[in-house]
Amino acid sequence: MGVSSLLIDFTPPLNKEILQAQDFISQQDYKTAIFKYEEILKKHPPKDIQVKINYQLGDLYSIYLSENKKAVQRYSTIMKISEDPRWLIKTQERLGEIYFSYLKVYKKSMAIYGKLSEFRPKLIEQDFYRFRYALSTFYSGNKALALRLFKEIQKSPTGEHYTRSFYYEGLIYFEQKKWQASIDTWKKYLKNEKRRDNIVQTKFLMANAYETIEKLKIAYNIYYSILGEYPNTLVIQNRLKGIYERRVARKR
């Protein structure tokens, strides 16, 4: 038999198996790809390969299968076996997103974004990390620290999240029943906010604050200004009716 008739595969076995797993991904057969990757890990490949496979598994579980707890396990494994800052940062970013957006475990996302925001040299997405750190702190219930963090963000007027930080500052005052402080802060916020849905939501809360401190005419006018734009029209109609009846009762 001539040499020209032989089919020789010079691909190392490990690389061949990885390529097979990638083929399953391209075919959108994610579960089979996961099975293949996990079989590769059982063979204890070199550490750099383990890191890449665990990262790929994390992405498959989170992005394609919405199994975020399994994704967390895979990303967390990277934190244990790698000291490469590039992989550690990428993994922290993934974990932060999962804890914040999907699992709603804000104390963990707070810890992650706190570290990313303080990383030196500064990371490209530092403004985003600082804002997520402040938001995580807010949602975890530590309003005093969150207020300080939002005010820190406001020291950089050119920052991407400068404007939105005023909304959350106002929301903290609102939850603390500091009605006038919330109103004053939201006035600053509305000077720069462009998104209409954010504007409508903020005006609703402002009207609520004005109503609470008995400035009924101002509250009525604000509610009326968002009638037809606020998602729940009935709520606005009931607020308008309630204020109208209270104002009429005052005049009697």
The predicted-structure confidence for 181-199, as pLDDT tens digits, reads as follows: 999 999 999 999 999 999 9
Q: Per-residue pLDDT averaged across 151-175, rounded? A: 97
d(CA 208, CA 205): 5
Q: Per-residue pLDDT averaged across 35-48, rounded? A: 95
Q: Which pLDDT value is given to residue 236? A: 97
Residue 36 near residue 21 (C-beta atoms within 8 A): yes
Q: Per-residue pLDDT averaged across 138-158, rounded? A: 97
Q: Which pLDDT value is given to residue 10? A: 47
Q: Is the pLDDT of residue 11 over 70?
A: no
Q: Is the pLDDT of residue 9 over 60?
A: no
DSSP per-residue string spanning 178-247: -HHHHHHHHHHHHHH---HHHHHHHHHHHHHHHHHTT-HHHHHHHHHHTTTTSS-HHHHHHHHHHHHHHH
Q: Per-residue pLDDT averaged across 64-70, rounded? A: 97
Q: Per-residue pLDDT averaged across 125-154, rounded? A: 98
Q: Which two tokens stand for residue 39?
A: 């079989």
Q: Is the pLDDT of residue 37 over 60?
A: yes
d(CA 137, CA 4): 67
Q: Which pLDDT value is given to residue 211? A: 97
